[in-house]
Amino acid sequence: MKIDRIELRELQMPLVHPFETSFGRTTTRRIVLVQVDAEGLTGWGEVTAGEEPFYSYETPETAWHILRDYLIPWTLGKDWVAPGDVAARFRPIRGHNMAKAALENALWDIAAQQQDLPLAKLVGGTLTEIPCGVSIGIQTSEEELLEKVGREVATGYQRIKVKVKPGWDLNVLEAIRTRFPRLLLMADANSAYSLADLAHLKEFDRFYLMMIEQPLGWDDLLDHAKLQKEISTPICLDESIHNADDARKALQIGAGKIINIKLGRVGGFTEAKRVHEVCRARNVPVWCGGMLESGIGRAHNIAMSTLPGFTLPGDVSASKRYWAEDIIDPQVTVSAQGTIHVPQTAGLGYTPNHRRIEKLTVRKESFE
């Protein structure tokens, strides 16, 4: 595969509802898209970094820099055999996984089109329908949260994740459990606690949650292992898993029992497949996380979610939960059973809408 041209662009996309986590609130996403032209085909990738360096150190700005000054020059004009070769070429750069993933995933899109395969098939997926959950941010009142939970359950979503932080945790879980005793429920703390909160974290056990996601430090494994020995709720790791080695070490020391795989956080499909393998070899369930993606990143997440180890509902949900109008056609929709039907056409399975993308673009730069 010979890469002829790469275009970077930044889109500003207002969310239909602001999204609040323990580290902050997002109202408009700044999304960097990577468009790759090779041998008459076009592939797309998305940088999933947050606007601020609060989930991880990456931002749209750091990704633009790493792509423009390193990843794109290292990729252009070279004759690649497989997208995985690009992943290997990017290894000398430490971190910046979301920048790497955007470019590598665009090449997977092209490879799928070249081989006339759905992206899901090319990456090794087997499911044709994926189970979906939703992630619900911190709200201004418990009543508002309960109403949102009720609406998502009625829509059909198979599990509900709520964001928690000190002061918005036991009280809201209690309220949800009282109203929805049998709901598949989990909480995501985004590193809002420390081991000093041990007694408090033990109280989460009474809500029989499916899991608690990343309760402790964003880059910690050791304290999570200590915590897991003290609580019965399974710990799911998100922020602290950057590659397959992290996953292996985490599972070896008992830092968690479940792993959330995000393509951006681990640097693209090649490494995400390795994380999946590490977990599958140990019978550890995984699920696909989300980063408030546009349709491009969402389409990649759908493909990833079809691998056989993705046995738990993920955070991959319908376009309309985020956008008045997504940038792909058709929009991502969810069935009444809370599933997404995986497209069976070649490539992404959704068509990027150039007119809409152009309208939302605030800057672009192309490289030949």
**Partner from Mg ion, ligand OSB, none contacting 291, C-beta within 5 to 8 A by type:** ligand OSB
Tokens of 101: 């993933």
Q: Give the separation between CA 204 and CA 358, rounded to whole angstroms.
A: 46
CA angle 15, 162, 298 (to 5 degrees): 45
Pick from 10, 238, 271, 326 the residue near Mg ion by CB under 5 A.
Answer: 238
Taking CB under 5 A as the rule, does residue 169 contact Mg ion? Answer: no
Q: How many residues bind Mg ion (CB under 5 A)?
A: 3
Give the residue among 283, 313, 259, 257 at the shortest CA–CA distance from 302.
313
Q: Is residue 152 a contact point for ligand OSB (CB under 6 A)?
A: no
Active site residues: 163, 262
Task: Give the start-end residues of each E strand in the chain.
Answer: 3-21, 24-38, 41-47, 129-131, 133-136, 159-163, 185-188, 212-213, 235-237, 258-261, 286-288, 328-329, 339-341, 351-352, 361-367
Please, which residue, 11 or 72, has the CB nearer to ligand OSB?
A: 11
Q: Which is nearer to Mg ion, 6 or 187 (CB)?
A: 187
CA torsion through residues 158, 106, 46, 217, sign: positive
Of residues 54 and 70, the one with the C-beta less far from ligand OSB:
54
The CA distance from 242 to 265, in Å, is: 6
289 touching ligand OSB, by CB under 6 A: yes
Buried residues in 166-195 as b, exposed as e (16+ CB within 10 A): eebbbebbeebbeeeeebbbbbbbbbbbeb
Q: Is 104 in the site for Mg ion (CB under 5 A)?
A: no
290 contributes a contact to ligand OSB by CB under 6 A: yes
For ligand OSB, the closer of residues 50 and 268 by Cβ is 50
Decide if 111 contacts 83 (C-beta within 8 A). Answer: yes
Which amino acid makes up residue 167?
G
**Does 326 help bind ligand OSB (rule: CB under 6 A)?**
no
Which residue among 22, 75, 190, 306 contacts ligand OSB (CB under 6 A)? 190
Which residue in 238, 246, 271, 326 binds ligand OSB (CB under 6 A)?
Answer: 238
Least distance from C-beta 186 to ligand OSB, angstroms?
11
Please name the residues in contact with 339: beta carbons below 8 A apart, sequence gap of 6 or more.
Answer: 129, 130, 131, 132, 158
Residue 11 Cα distances to 31, 323, 357, angstroms: 5, 13, 7
Among 20, 58, 104, 188, which residue sits at the site for ligand OSB (rule: CB under 6 A)? 188
Among 35, 59, 135, 240, binds ligand OSB (CB under 6 A): 135
CB of 290 to ligand OSB, least distance (A): 2
Least CB distance to ligand OSB at residue 310 (A): 15
Give the CA radius of gyration of the chain. 20
Cβ atoms of 17 and 231 closer than 8 Å: no
Interface residue with Mg ion, options 188, 220, 271, 326 (CB under 5 A): 188
* Residue selected from 162, 221, 255, 292 as contacting ligand OSB according to rule CB under 6 A: 292
Give 336's contacts (C-beta < 8 A, 6+ positions apart).
155, 156
**Edge-to-edge strands of the sheet including 235-237?**
133-136, 159-163, 185-188, 212-213, 235-237, 258-261, 286-288
How many residues touch ligand OSB (CB under 6 A)? 11
Q: Map residues 95-134 to x or -, x wherever contact with ligand OSB holds by CB under 6 A.
A: ----------------------------------------
Q: Does 46 bind ligand OSB (CB under 6 A)?
A: no
Stretch that binds ligand OSB, among 179-187, 224-232, 284-292, 333-341 (CB under 6 A): 284-292
Which amino acid belongs to residue 273? K
- Which of the listed partners (Mg ion, ligand OSB, none) does 290 bind, with a CB threshold of 5 to 8 Å by partner kind? ligand OSB
The CB-of-161 to Mg ion minimum distance in angstroms stands at 8
Interacting residues with ligand OSB (CB under 6 A): 50, 55, 135, 188, 190, 238, 289-292, 315
> Which positions touch Mg ion (CB under 5 A)?
188, 213, 238
